Amino acid sequence: MEERGDRTALQCRQYSASCREFSVRCQPVQLRSLSAATCSVWLAAYWLFVLTQNSMVLSTAIFITLIGLIVYLHFVKIDQESLLVIASLGIQMTSSYASGKENTTFIEMSRVKDVVINEAICMQKVIYYLCILLRDPLDPQSVSEVVPLFQVTSHQDAKSEGYPLKGHQLTYLLMFGTNK
Amino acid sequence: MQMLSLKASGGQDQTPKAQVESSSSIPMVVLKVFFPSCCSSAESGLLVGHWIPEQNSAVILAVVHFPFIPVQVKQYLSEVRQVTQVNVSVLGTWSNCKKKEESLSEFLEDLGTIFSHEPWIQLCKETDSKFWSCSIIQKHPSTPKEDEIILVYYDQRKVMLSHLHPPGNLTNSTDHKAEDASKLAILFDTVAKSKVLFMKDRYDDGPIKLTHWQSEGVEASIIVELMKQASIPVCMLLTFLLSFVSSVCKSRVLKFWPLSFIWSKLSTCEQLGHRLEHLQVISSNRKAQNQPQLMRKANIFVSLLADVALGILLMSWLYRKNRIGHLADTLIPAADHVAKELQDLLQWLMGVPAGLKMNRALDQVLGRFFLYHIHLWISYIHLMSPFIEMILWYVGLSACLGLTVALSILSDIIALLTFHIYCFYVYGARLYCLKIYGLSSLWRLFRGKKWNVLRQRVDSCSYDLDQLFIGTLLFTILLFLLPTTALYYLVFTLLRLLVVVVQGLIHLLVDLIDSLPLYSILLRLCRSYRLAAGVKFRVLEQKTGKPLRLLMQINPLSYGSVVQTYRLPTYSCYPKDSWGSLCKKLFLGELIYPWKHKGEKQD
């Protein structure tokens, strides 16, 4: 089951009656922006080389480009964020980066108090994001932590025009994803 | 931020665009079976494990194979229960056969009457199929609906060896521990406590044949065993040596006033004392009670080893090619150079520094006073110059005690060599401080007010005429002499701050080496399953009609949390003064001691 927004795609899979997975896929790395960044770095390096006639500048530029690319792919660029809901076990959030690294967090069902949609005012827009309220172990009535879901993809989509669709997607997720 | 909460209500409000198959009503009860992946290829038999009724989950620990005598199985399990304090019992049957055989399934059901357990789990696997079937038999079903079953595979060895770190500050709460203990903690606990069950392997000649992660043969390492045997006499020797050393240190001879003052000021002694404490922790005979203590001991040990190794490396580098000699040769000229620069600075201050006009008389007095001090200092340094090389040679030998000790010695040498700067700073600060207090008090007199010591506030006061006259005169004198003193104070404070910053950087480095938990970081790198932040689940291939299959893997702790959790405590506390109070102290001329050690009296 897929829903396509402007640049993000929501996919829902139901494995069994008590297990569901929702994944949101981001825009992949564009060749355009990559080549633009590389060209600008190398042009600057070449200009410096013409000024100083020191070939170390060029090797430094190559080094910086490579390191920067690796750091970007491994730590910054998120490819896909997914949410796995397993009844009576818990909720698992996974973010997978462009280099293949996966960051997983699992929250047990006993710690989850509720799942809500929060509104945030960001400059002149209002964005909606889904978050989980965690129970405080010492005081069962109060909320100890608020964990936002789909952090990166929510933020990305807020910049595009497709955010009313995102609100609908959130509602859809909330309706069909939180049966305990 | 406003909170808009929409609660799911079982598929009643359908959004217009969503086309989803109507979610079938989720069964009220979900039964979870945690199955060790090492038992997937075991032959048919009985499932032995721990049933947790509050969470409706069964943790399978081992499989008992045919043939067995039920009485012996029950006896063995009660022995295991006594030793491990875990409620281990027979939970069901496991059948692994080529085709479904009627006679076998009847036999397995009959076993349910011998080992009665509520509920009775029957796992069935066909040899060439990935998907297992599981059925539950409940004598008194609590709910009329059929239970949904989730099969979770876990790696028994990793779960047994791993230590779960609960998120946040859950470790500190002891009140609700029993009720709110997370399910995962119970699972990890159960497997870890059942070590006795895993000691029986298939080469044991006993009436009961088990399959678990160690059933192919109990794991052991010769090196570890040898080290365990050797560690006892080594620990005893170390304890004896350390008690001797600490008794020498605590002897009355060293407690007399000048010596005790020197020991407290030298950072080398602090560092040596710190390392002595560490050695005492390692060499104590008591076994570590729980995991944090064990990790602490291991961290201290590895950190000490690394420190000593780096120290010996440094020493070998220093003593090669007579570098110590070169160092000693450059030390005296360096001290001379510093003294000459200071003299030039004072000559500059005695002239017209930065275009400011100084009070000539006061300027000359202060300048000559400080110049004489520098002259004395240079004479002392030249007096000591023949012995410098020998002293440095022997002091350099102490680098074998560790890199931290070498760095502390370096910091102390810098402190000793710049002692004159420290003295100048103290003279300048005291003079300036007196001047500021005098000025503030006379300013109050100028305005007709007085500081009331009893009430700790400013009160008005009527002065006599002669008091006012003298007071105003003194006030004027102090005010016009202020720029000179202030300039000297400023220059020497800046020099002192420079030295403090250099010493502070060295101390930071020493602290870093002291407190870094090297063993934990190496463990996280090589055996990341030992330090678990939580678990992660992966959904395996599904087939409708068969129970849901999940793979549970250990989610290791991040490096930042590892360092934060297992940091070794150090003896220095970082300055608690904020920048604001530091600036205030500098302005008023109070002496600053930025790097205070724990245990020293606070001002």
* pLDDT averages per 10-residue partition of chain B, 603 residues: 36 35 52 88 86 87 84 87 87 80 75 78 80 76 69 90 75 46 81 83 76 78 87 87 84 73 81 86 79 89 93 88 82 86 88 81 88 89 85 85 90 87 90 92 87 86 88 91 89 91 91 92 92 89 83 91 89 70 84 61 43
A167 touching B (Cβ < 8 Å): no
CA distances from B298 to A93, B294, B568 (A): 34, 6, 11
Q: Do A174 and B536 touch (CB under 8 A)?
A: no
3-class secondary structure, A10 = strand
Average pLDDT value for residue range A93-104: 90
Chain A residue with the nearest C-alpha to that of B2: A119
> Which pLDDT value is given to residue B526?
93
Q: Which chain B residues are closer than 8 Å to A118 by Cβ?
A: 1-4
Q: What is the pLDDT of residue B574?
A: 64
Partners of residue A1 in chain B, C-beta under 8 Å? 19-20
Return the SS3 of B543: coil
Q: State the nearest Cα–Cα gap between B509 and chain A, in angstroms.
A: 27
User: Is residue A100's pLDDT more than 90?
Assistant: no
Q: How far is B484 from chain A (nearest CA, A)?
A: 48
| Cβ contact, residue pair B26, A106, below 8 Å | no
Query: Closest approach of chain B CAs to the CA of A60, in angstroms?
Result: 29
Distance CA B250, CA B260 (A): 11
By Cβ distance, the residue of B4, B13, B26 closest to A17 is B26
The distance of A62 to chain B (nearest Cα, Å) reads: 29
Q: Nearest CA of chain B to the CA of A52: how many Å?
A: 34
Select from B27, B56, B536 the Cβ nearest to the Cβ of A106.
B536
In chain A, the residue whose alpha carbon lies closest to the alpha carbon of B176 is A138
Q: Give me the residue from A21, A118, A120 closest to B539, CB to CB.
A: A21
Tokens 């602290």 belong to: B511
With tokens 């006073």, the residue in question is B369
The C-alpha of A38 sits at a distance from chain B's nearest C-alpha, in angstroms, of: 31
d(CA B527, CA B512): 24
A99 reaches B (C-beta below 8 A) = no
Question: How much is the pLDDT for B279?
Answer: 86
Q: Which of B56, B148, B534 sits opposite A18 (nearest CB)?
A: B148
Interface pTM, i.e. ipTM: 0.79
User: How many residues are recorded in chain B?
Assistant: 603
Tell me which chain B residue has its CA closest to the CA of residue A94: B536
The partner residue sitting opposite B548, judged by closest CB among A19, A121, A180, is A19
A-chain residues near B17 (CB < 8 A): 3, 168
Q: Is A66 on the interface with B (CB under 8 A)?
A: no
Q: Which residue does chain B place closest to A137, by CA atoms?
A: B180
Q: In whole angstroms, give the CA distance from residue B14 to residue B532.
A: 40
Cα angle B306, B309, B314; round to 5: 125
Contact yes or no for B8 and A119 at CB 8 A? no
Could B2 and A119 be called an inter-chain contact, meaning their C-beta atoms sit closer than 8 Å? yes
CB atoms B170 and A88 under 8 Å:
no
* Residue B525, Cβ density class (10 Å: 0-12 exposed, 13-18 middle, ≥19 buried): exposed
Q: Do A168 and B15 touch (CB under 8 A)?
A: yes
| Beta carbons within 8 Å of A20's beta carbon, 6+ residues apart | A12, A13, A14, A84, A85, A176, A177
User: Residues B446, B439: contact at Cβ < 8 Å?
Assistant: no
**Nearest CB partner across the interface for B15, out of A21, A118, A172:** A172
Nearest to A137 among B17, B152, B170 (CB): B170
Q: Is the pLDDT of residue A3 over 90?
A: no
Best mutation target among A1, A10, A13, A19 (most B Cβ atoms within 10 Å) is A19
Closest chain A residue to B537, measured at CA: A92
Coil, strand, or helix at residue B512?
A: helix
User: A65 to chain B, minimum CA–CA distance in Å?
Assistant: 26
pLDDT higher at B417 or A7:
B417
Nearest neighbour of B148 by CB, restricted to A14, A17, A114: A17
Query: pLDDT class for A71, splitting at 50, 70, 90?
Result: very high
- In this predicted structure, what is the pLDDT of residue B177? 46
Contact A18 B21 (CB under 8 A): no
Q: 3-state DSSP: chain A helix, strand, coil percent, rounded to 5?
A: 40, 40, 20
Interatomic CA distance for residues B535 and B538, integer angstroms: 10
Over range A121-136, report the average pLDDT. 84
Higher pLDDT, B571 or A102: A102
Decide if A103 touches B, using CB distance below 8 A. Answer: no
